[in-house]
Amino acid sequence: MTFTVERATTADIADLRQLYYAVYGPHYPTALGTDPAEMSRLIQDPDTLWLVARGGPGDALAGSAAIHSEPGSRLGRLEGLAVHPDQRGSGLAGALTEALCARMFATDRLDSVYATVRTVSAGPQRVVSRHGFRPLGILPNAVDLNCRESLALYARHAEGVLDRRVPVPEVPASLTPLLRTVEGSLGISYAGTRATAPRPAPPGPTTARLEMIEAPAFVRRRFQERFPDADRWFYPLHTPNILLTPDDGGFEVYAYLNRVGGYCALVTAHPDPAVAAGWLEPVTRTLTRAGAGYVEALVPLDHHGGLSAFAAQGFIAGALYPAMRRDGDGFHDYVVMSRTTEHIDFHGVVVDAPLQPFLDSYVSAWASTYLPSREVAS
């Protein structure tokens, strides 16, 4: 069957909502496929390329996908990849993925594109792998659809980007298995990076009382006032919608909470993330009570203290994104540290062969963090 691939228009919104319902049911957790106002904004956004495919009887809408970016970030996110159940196996998912990447990289506005891929089957993993994406890690319990699902992180880099990574002198020793896995996946080297002991954990709070402010417009304005310079924070494509602060107002933690999907991303803290490092346990506990069964943070690979602080509070390095952020002529690597308060069940997870080492690495790291070491009596 022949399909026509073209840019989405606002006239497609009703058909798009029906498509996402047909693919995901009533539990799709993003506004891209459910909120007409947000869909209209993204379709008209100059930093978003949204493509749709039509074909078959009545030239029906058969597939959809988009790459979304932000001004100045040079990083894109492949999202909303959906093919109508009647057209599965037609190659349409791959055609949409390749068309999007080819057009966006041709503009020279992006250094890389990432995708979070479902692990309920190997199909989505193979689609992105066939079009230049490589696995970077596993995100356990990352989203609540019909049930808690784990996602895989994949990325595709523009030519030459991985060769310009800024060297990292040392990392906490617990990250060594993940680094070795990324080396095998992407063919890059961390031979010059030493594995050292973690930094001492910051002292915990004398009181664990936190106030959570859930007022998206207010939080966004305050965040922009606190961080007018994007160099002081980096969490692309996540706009904070909640703020957490202790009774004395000593710091402010900014985060993005998605109640529908049951997940949260810690974006940054004011005046400095180090000030809030000792509060990670009560912060996570507060977010869990608010409905976040999965909490993640993006930490620079060269921030030894930050990585140590998150690890001390049970966060596990599940993914590593090399060359994620451009800095002059070089690129910085970032680690996805995550913590889930819900039972992890990998029985239903299906991983393609290239992703398997990342799942093994995560399971080993989880066991080292949460299972007591065995003592052998002589």
Q: Which residues are CB-neighbours of 225 under 8 A, at least 6 positions away? A: none
Per-residue model confidence as pLDDT tens digits over 8-28:
999 999 999 999 999 888 877
Residue 231, pLDDT score: 65
For residues 268 and 374, give the distance between their C-alpha atoms in angstroms, rounded to a whole number: 37
User: CA-CA distances (angstroms) from residue 247 to 200, 251, 271, 278?
Assistant: 26, 10, 16, 15
Task: Determine the pLDDT at residue 203.
Answer: 86
Distance CA 79, CA 101 (A): 12
- Expressed in angstroms, the distance from the first to the final Cα of the chain is 70
Q: What is the C-alpha to C-alpha distance for residues 258 and 236, in angstroms, rounded to an integer?
A: 16
Please choose, from the candidates 339, 298, 305, 346, the residue with its C-alpha nearest in 3D space to the C-alpha of residue 320: 298
pLDDT per residue, tens digit, the chain (378 aa), is 688 999 999 999 999 999 999 988 887 778 888 999 999 999 999 999 999 999 877 788 999 999 999 888 899 999 999 999 988 878 899 999 999 999 999 999 999 999 999 999 998 899 999 999 999 999 999 998 778 899 999 999 999 999 999 999 999 999 999 999 999 999 999 999 999 999 998 888 877 689 999 999 999 999 999 988 766 667 777 889 999 999 989 999 999 999 988 999 999 999 988 889 899 999 999 999 999 999 999 999 999 999 999 999 999 999 999 999 999 999 999 999 999 989 998 988 999 999 999 999 999 999 999 987 655 454
Q: pLDDT tens for residues 224-280? A: 999 887 666 677 778 899 999 999 899 999 999 999 889 999 999 999 888 898 999
Helix (H) or strand (E) holding 230: none
Cβ-proximal residues to 374 (8 Å cutoff; 6+ apart), any chain = none
Smallest CA-to-CA distance from 44 within 74, 20, 13, 73 is with 13
Q: pTM to 2 decimals?
A: 0.92
Write out pLDDT tens, residues 54-75: 987 778 899 999 999 988 889 9
| H/E run at residue 138 | strand 134-144
Q: What is the pLDDT of residue 173?
A: 96
Write down the pLDDT at residue 208: 67
CA distance 213 to 96: 40
